[in-house]
Amino acid sequence: STQGKDGWFGHPKQLARLFTTEMWERFGYYGMRALLTLYLAQHFLFDDTTTASIYGGFTALVYLTPLIGGLIADRYLGSKRSVKFGAILMALGYFTLCFGGEAAKPYATIDGQRYEVTVEGKGEAQRQFVTDDGQKLQIKGNDDKTVSLLGADGTEVRKVDAGNFKASGERSSFYTMLLLIGLSMVTIGNGFFKPNISTMVGSLYDQGDQRRDAGFTIFYMGINLGSLLSQLACPFLADAYGWWAGFGLAAIGMLASWALIQFDGGRLDGYGERPADATSSRDWLIYGGALLAVPVVWFLFSNLMGYVKPEAGSGILGYIATLPIMGKLLFGTFLIGVPAILFWSYLKGSKVEFQMMIAAMVLIIFNVVFWTLFEQAGSSLTLFADRNTDLSVFGWFSISAGQTQFFNAFFIVALAPVFSILWNAMAKRGIEPGIPIKFGIGLMGVGFGFLFLVWGSQFAGDDFKVGLWWLAGLYLIHSIAELCISPVGLSMITKLSIARIVGMMMGVWFLSISVAQYVAGVVAQVASVETVGGQVTNLKVSLNTYVDVFTTIGWISVGIGVLLMLIAYPLKRLMHGVK
Residues that bind ligand GLN (CB under 6 A): 26, 223, 371, 486, 513
Residue type, 413: V
The helix (run of H) or strand (run of E) holding residue 90 is helix 78-97
Cβ burial, residue 140 (10 Å; 0-12/13-18/19+): middle
Q: Any idea what DSSP says for residue 11?
A: B
The 8 Å CB, 24+ separation contacts for 357-360 are: 357/496, 357/497, 357/498, 358/574, 359/436, 359/496, 359/571, 359/574, 359/575, 359/578, 360/492, 360/493, 360/496, 360/497, 360/505
d(CA 523, CA 531): 18
Judged by beta carbon, residue 539 or residue 553, the one nearer ligand GLN is 553
At closest approach, how far in Å is the CB of 201 from ligand GLN? 12
CB-wise, 301 or 371, nearer to ligand GLN? Answer: 371
Are 279 and 91 contacting, i.e. CB atoms less than 8 angstroms apart? Answer: no
Q: How far is the CB of 220 from ligand GLN (least distance, A)?
A: 7
What value, to the nearest 5°, has the Cα angle with vertex 518 and ends 482 and 356?
55
Least distance to ligand GLN from the beta carbon of 515, Å?
Answer: 12
Between 223 and 468, name the residue whose CB sits nearer to ligand GLN. Answer: 223
Task: Annotate 293-319 with b (16+ C-beta within 10 A) or e (fewer).
Answer: bbeebbebbbeebbebebeeeeeeeee
Instruction: Please tell me whether residue 217 adopts helix, strand or coil conformation.
Output: helix
Nearer to ligand GLN, 19 or 76 (CB): 19
Rounded Cα gap, residues 180 and 299, in angstroms? 9
Closest distance of CB 364 from ligand GLN, Å = 13
Looking at the Cβ atoms of 237 and 413, the one nearer to ligand GLN is 413
- For residue 371, the minimal CB distance to ligand GLN (Å) is 6
Sorted by sequence, the CB contacts under 8 Å of residue 66 that are 6+ apart come out as 190, 191, 194, 195, 507, 510
CB-based closest residue to ligand GLN: 223
CA atoms within 13 A on the CB side of 276: 0
Three-class HEC string of 541-552: HHHHHHHHHHHH
Q: Compare residues 148 and 403 and give the one whose CB is closer to ligand GLN.
A: 403
Query: How is residue 104 annotated by DSSP?
Result: P
Rounded to whole angstroms, how far apart are CA atoms 381 and 471? 9
Quick one: 226 or 534, whose CB is closer to ligand GLN? 226
Shortest CB 510 distance to ligand GLN, Å = 8
Judged by CB, which is closer to ligand GLN: 53, or 479? Answer: 479
- The distance of closest approach from Cβ of residue 10 to ligand GLN in the complex, given in angstroms and rounded to an integer, is 23
Least separation in angstroms between residue 194's CB and ligand GLN is 7
Whole-number Å distance between alpha carbons of 113 and 127: 21
Residue 488 CB, nearest approach to ligand GLN (Å): 12
Nearer to ligand GLN, 26 or 81 (CB): 26
